[in-house]
């Protein structure tokens, strides 16, 4: 049996399937207990530091509420509140906070930087480093998605057809981390994954290779198409969401030239929207998921996202709470 206390959670891929399965059991237990109004102060007087380099609604509040419900407290930090805005290193930040509290949670989605920053903190920290999303992985989202799928389709997900699709959006170039976490995790549970995306919006090749390996080892499958309609055909779950075209470039430099090219590529694919016509191409009981926030009218029509038969987005968002609590309870030593 794994000793979870002190274990980092930077990518689901770093945890074995048995460890993830146990975490899901804890998440389901915590959800039940919350429903019954039971006290679960398993982390009494413990502190989680939350460092957000970017904005957040779900992640910030699932972690904040979660630690309160577990009997502890959180510090909601941003770079401007900390000396890292004056150049304090990941090493010094991690070592100092390790002497004071019980976990360091961090969101840093800067492309080419975020995951390295979290891994560097993990190298020095004596307390768990918990990813709140980086440029490569969003493990808290991945596990909440899987919990939601298990609730709708049962624990045995072998052969369940899920489509992770790119979609048009203008709010910002969203990170690769949500779809990359999903394509790594779902095939480990035997699911048949279709990735639909225009050729200018690939995922990183090493993630595709690992996802294929995960599928082979666990009885799932993964296939790719650059046709959104084809991606939707027969799908039991669709997850259409924007991500930036960072991986299209041999090396992303964040230059004006690259940003202009990415924007021009984006504008070629305005028709990549999840609408009623596309939902009707899918399985008759299809479910629509989105990590949120969604670009309504661009990634998805209101008719789809607000359709109670199709859309399970609020169950998905709620499960961010239960899974975040399970991760904190296990890695901070609140349960075995
Ligand atoms: N899905 C998600 O991570 O939402 P926030 O950006 O609001 O945390």
pLDDT score, position 71:
98
Closest ligand 1 atom, residue 140 Cα: 3
pLDDT digits 0-9 by tens, 175-234: 999 999 999 999 999 999 999 999 999 999 999 999 999 999 999 999 999 999 999 999
Closest ligand 1 atom, residue 59 Cα: 8
Give me 284's structure tokens: 């008759």
pLDDT score, position 48:
98
Asked whether 58 lines ligand 1 (CB < 6 A), one says yes
Domain with 324 in it? 12-138+320-331
How far apart are the CA of 19 and the centre of ligand 1, in A? 24
pLDDT score, position 70:
98
Q: What is the mean pLDDT of residues 143-150?
A: 98
pLDDT score, position 81:
96
pLDDT score, position 204:
98
Rounded Cα distance, 30 and 322, in Å:
6
Return the CATH number at 303.
Answer: 3.40.50.1370
Kindly list the strands in the beta sheet with 237-241, ordered across the sheet, starting from the edge strand earlier in the chain. 221-225, 192-196, 161-166, 237-241, 287-288
pLDDT digits 0-9 by tens, 261-283: 999 999 999 999 999 999 999 99
Stated as kind and residue range, the H or E segment containing 102 is: none
Closest ligand 1 atom, residue 54 Cα: 6
pLDDT score, position 214:
98
Give the model's confidence band at 108: pLDDT under 50 very low, under 70 low, under 90 confident, else very high.
very high
**Sign of torsion, CA 31 33 36 38?**
negative
Asked whether 131 lines ligand 1 (CB < 6 A), one says no
Asked whether 56 lines ligand 1 (CB < 6 A), one says yes
Residue 1 lies in a domain: no
Q: Are 43 and 102 in contact (CB under 8 A)?
A: yes
pLDDT digits 0-9 by tens, 45-73: 999 999 999 999 999 999 999 999 999 99
- The verdict on 158 and 276 lying in the same domain is yes
Contacts of 6 (CB under 8 A, 6+ apart): 126, 127, 128, 331, 333
Residue 120 lies in a domain: yes
Give the model's confidence band at 132: pLDDT under 50 very low, under 70 low, under 90 confident, else very high.
very high
How far apart are the CA of 62 and the centre of ligand 1, in A? 10
What's the residue count for the chain?
Answer: 336
Mean pLDDT value across the chain: 97
Give the model's confidence band at 2: pLDDT under 50 very low, under 70 low, under 90 confident, else very high.
confident
Q: What is the mean pLDDT of residues 283-297?
A: 98
In total, how many domains does the chain have? 2
Residue 50 lies in a domain: yes
pLDDT score, position 172:
83
Helices (H), the chain: 17-36, 58-69, 90-98, 114-124, 139-153, 177-185, 205-218, 228-232, 256-267, 276-279, 302-305, 313-331
Give me 282's structure tokens: 């899918």
Residue 162 lies in a domain: yes
- The verdict on 51 and 194 lying in the same domain is no
- The verdict on 146 and 283 lying in the same domain is yes
How far apart are the CA of 278 and the centre of ligand 1, in A? 25
- pTM for the model stands at 0.98
Proportion of the chain above pLDDT 70, given as a percent: 100
Residue 2 lies in a domain: no
Q: What is the mean pLDDT of residues 288-309?
A: 98
Asked whether 218 lines ligand 1 (CB < 6 A), one says no
Q: Which of 188, 182, 148, 191 shows the shortest CA–CA distance to 164? A: 182
- The verdict on 184 and 303 lying in the same domain is yes
Per-residue pLDDT at 41 exceeds 80: yes
- The verdict on 154 and 105 lying in the same domain is no
């Amino acid at each position: 049996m794994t000793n979870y206390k002190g274990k980092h959670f930077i990518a689901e891929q770093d945890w074995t399937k048995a460890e993830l399965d146990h975490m899901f059991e804890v998440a389901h237990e915590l959800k039940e207990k919350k429903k019954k109004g039971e006290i679960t102060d398993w982390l009494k007087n413990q502190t989680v530091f939350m460092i957000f380099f970017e904005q957040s609604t779900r992640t910030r509040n699932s972690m904040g509420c979660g630690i309160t419900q577990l009997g502890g407290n959180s510090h909601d930090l941003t770079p401007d509140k900390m000396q890292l805005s004056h150049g304090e290193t990941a090493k010094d930040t991690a070592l100092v906070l390790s002497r004071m509290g019980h976990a360091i949670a961090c969101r840093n989605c800067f492309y080419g930087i975020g995951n390295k920053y979290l891994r560097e903190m993990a190298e020095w920290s004596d307390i768990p480093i918990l990813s709140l999303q980086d440029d490569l992985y969003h493990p808290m989202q991945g596990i909440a998605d899987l919990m939601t799928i298990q609730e709708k389709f049962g624990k045995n997900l072998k052969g369940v057809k899920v489509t992770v699709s790119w979609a048009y959006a203008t709010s910002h170039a969203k990170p690769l981390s949500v779809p990359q976490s999903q394509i790594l995790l779902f095939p480990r549970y035997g699911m048949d994954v279709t990735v639909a995306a225009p050729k200018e919006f690939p995922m990183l090749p090493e993630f595709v290779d690992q996802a294929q390996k995960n599928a082979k080892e666990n009885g799932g499958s993964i296939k790719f198409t650059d046709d959104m309609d084809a991606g939707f055909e027969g799908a039991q779950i669709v997850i259409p969401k924007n991500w930036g075209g960072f991986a299209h470039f041999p090396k992303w430099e964040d230059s004006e030239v690259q940003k202009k090219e990415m924007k021009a590529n984006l504008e070629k694919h305005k028709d990549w929207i999840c609408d009623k016509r596309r939902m009707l191409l899918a399985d008759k009981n299809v479910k629509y998921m989105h990590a949120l926030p969604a670009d309504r009218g661009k990634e998805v029509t209101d008719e789809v996202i607000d359709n109670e038969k199709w859309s399970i987005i609020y169950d998905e968002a709620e499960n961010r709470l239960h899974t975040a609590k399970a991760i904190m309870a296990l890695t901070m030593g609140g349960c075995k």
